[in-house]
């Protein structure tokens, strides 16, 4: 009678050899991924296998060297789809159990890959990017032009006029939008910094807050002066926090307008679960708002933050001079 452990060994060996032969066939590709060597592209995805190829293809076809994808709480074919697409040696797929974006971005930036990268590009799974990476090149040029610029957003931004402690009805208050202005009860009021670029031009300016994503981050200065604060987990307002913290420490936040990125494709996870709508939000968002209030109310309400942003914008060369308006 055969030893049962030996039988398990023999069976496992046959299966392993078969898998190795299949892997060798896959490894025959001579594709080199060497573009943007100083940049780490970080993607988050939640059950979007049906969109993943369209999201990743521009980056794969551009032969981006460093890509890290988080399959966070996925129960679909995301991992298998990602494995077929991300074949570079510096491409990784990290499977986590629904830990949300703040944790995952922190994981990526503080990893060995993150800390060795000069820049990181933070992305999500419901934006479709053009095959032309002029928008990214433009953002990197802005980083080169302004050494104090640590975060650039490509999805618009906000300038906060006043902030107060969250109202008792914060989780049910309606977000009111009137043109470029917005308010949420008596808790906060401000204006959107988004604007429409002319034709195919890209344009740049500074704002208090850049809305994620995508976010282009100068890694070393970011890690030395701010963080993806775990107190804001699982989501909401951590990007506002690090933008305001950077301004308070003398750094800059910028916006690139005119990138041809198609946004909000499909229904996002927070909208699917109805946890975040125009007049409903989870209890932890009230806590997060009060963290912002406690940390930055004086900086905002005194007008000091607005003055710093105004001063930064006054330094921009007038259109249509080179680099700022292409």
State the average pLDDT over residues 73-79: 91
8 Å CB contact between 232 and 241:
yes
Give the DSSP per-residue string, 172-230. Answer: T--EEEETTEEEETTTEEEEE---PPSTT--EEEE-SEE-SSSEEEEHHHHHHH----G
Q: Over 90: is that where the pLDDT of 1 sits?
A: no
Report strand pairing: 209-210 vs 157-163: antiparallel
Question: What is the model's pLDDT at position 271?
Answer: 58
d(CA 190, CA 247): 17
Name the strand (E) or helix (H) holding 252: strand 252-257
Quick one: pLDDT at residue 42? 98
Q: Tell me: the pLDDT tens digits for 102-133?
A: 999 999 999 999 999 999 999 988 899 999 99
Average pLDDT score, the chain: 90
pLDDT digits (tens, 9 = 90+) for 17-29: 888 887 777 665 6
pLDDT band of 321, cuts 50, 70, 90: very low
Residue 301 confidence (pLDDT): 98
Percent of the chain with pLDDT over 70: 90
pTM of the model: 0.89
Percent above pLDDT 90 for the chain: 74
Class of domain 31-314 (CATH, top level): alpha beta
CA distance 57 to 72: 20
pLDDT at position 325, please? 47
Looking at residues 44-62, what average pLDDT do you find? 94
Whether the per-residue pLDDT at 282 is higher than 80: the answer is yes
């Amino acid at each position: 009678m055969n030893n049962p452990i030996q039988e398990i060994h023999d069976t496992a060996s046959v299966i392993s050899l078969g898998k190795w032969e299949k892997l060798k066939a896959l490894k025959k590709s001579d594709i080199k991924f060497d573009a943007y060597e100083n940049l780490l592209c970080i993607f988050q995805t939640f059950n979007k296998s049906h969109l993943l190829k369209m999201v990743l293809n521009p980056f794969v076809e551009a032969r981006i060297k460093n890509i890290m994808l988080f399959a966070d709480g996925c129960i679909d074919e995301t991992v298998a789809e990602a494995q077929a697409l991300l074949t570079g040696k510096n491409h990784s797929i990290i499977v986590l159990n629904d830990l949300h974006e703040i944790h995952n971005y922190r994981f990526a930036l503080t990893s060995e890959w993150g800390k060795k990268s000069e820049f990181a590009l933070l992305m999500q799974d419901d934006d479709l990017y053009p095959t032309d990476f002029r928008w990214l090149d433009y953002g990197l040029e802005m980083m080169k032009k302004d050494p104090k610029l640590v975060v650039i957003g490509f999805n618009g931004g906000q300038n906060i006029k006043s902030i107060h402690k969250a109202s008792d009805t914060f989780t049910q208050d309606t977000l009111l939008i009137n043109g470029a202005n917005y308010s949420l009860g008596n808790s906060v009021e401000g204006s959107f910094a988004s604007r429409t670029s002319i034709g195919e031009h890209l344009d740049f300016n500074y704002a208090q807050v850049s809305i994620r994503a995508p976010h282009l981050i100068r890694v070393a200065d970011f890690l030395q002066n701010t963080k993806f604060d775990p107190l804001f987990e699982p989501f909401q307002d951590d990007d506002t926090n690090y933008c305001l913290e950077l301004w308070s420490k003398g750094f800059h936040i910028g916006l690139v307008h005119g990138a041809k990125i198609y946004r909000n494709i499909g229904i996002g996870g927070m909208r699917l679960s109805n946890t975040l709508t125009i007049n409903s939000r989870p209890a932890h968002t009230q806590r997060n708002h009060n963290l912002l209030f406690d940390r930055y109310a004086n900086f905002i309400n005194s007008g000091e933050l607005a003055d710093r942003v105004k001063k930064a914008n006054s330094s921009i060369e007038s259109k249509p001079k080179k680099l700022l308006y292409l």
